[in-house]
Amino acid sequence: MTVGIVDYGLGNLGSVRNMLKRVGAQSVSVRTADEIAEVDKVLLPGVGAFDTGVTRLAEAGLIDALRDFAGTGRPLLGICLGMQLLLDGSDEGVKSGLGLIPGRSVRFDEKLGIRVPHMGWNLANPAREDPLVAELPEESRFYFVHSYHVVPERAEDTLAITDYGIPFSSMVRTGNVMGAQFHPEKSHTFGMTIMRNFAAL
């Protein structure tokens, strides 16, 4: 079973690859639609601005490829910006996302007395049982760096909740499409659990 890590010029592929290796998962970088079609699972990483991410995917011809992959029922996980790209759009930009999970990303409100971006370690509490969050210990902490947070259109798509001024969806899942706002590859044993669970889906 091979995890294809989408290489579109945004994201720390080396750290993701190393974490997958630590949990015993085989991974390859995928850069074309044909390569995406051949793998068993896809991981979409990402750092940076929403519109830049959409543009990079479009230039590489990967938007339809990712939608087609999701349509096969195989697991697709987006992390950080990659999670936000799964949505319909973001208040950060004007471009449309992949539209695989209904919802948008909105900016944290500094009026809540919080610093933006949200950066550092924070709890992510599972909102429901799911294989992706199985065997997470209580008080599981993950590493976050983001100014925008996901607001799913459907409450049932929230998989984990984090509090930063307000409770927000730090993990989402709709069928075989799932996302994590934090960086599991930088989150030590807690992130390792998420990656191991994803590799086992």
Q: Please, what's the b/e burial string for 3-32 (b: 16 or more CB within 10 A of its CB; e: otherwise)? A: bbbbbbebbbbeebbebbeebebebeebbe
For residue 181, the number of C-alpha atoms closer than 13 Å in the C-beta half-sphere is 34
Of the candidates 35, 38, 80, 92, the residue annotated as catalytic is 80
Judging by DSSP bridges, how do beta strands 166-174 and 125-126 pair with one another? Answer: unpaired
183 is a catalytic site residue: yes
Active site residue 35: no
- Any catalytic annotation for residue 80? yes
The number of residues making up the chain comes to 201
User: Which position among 118, 146, 149, 183 bears the catalytic label?
Assistant: 183
Q: Measured between alpha carbons, how far is 82 from 154 in angstroms, rounded to an integer? A: 19
Q: Which of 92, 146, 149, 185 is catalytic?
A: 185
- Non-local (6+) Cβ contacts of 138 within 8 A are none
The catalytic site residues sit at 80, 183, 185
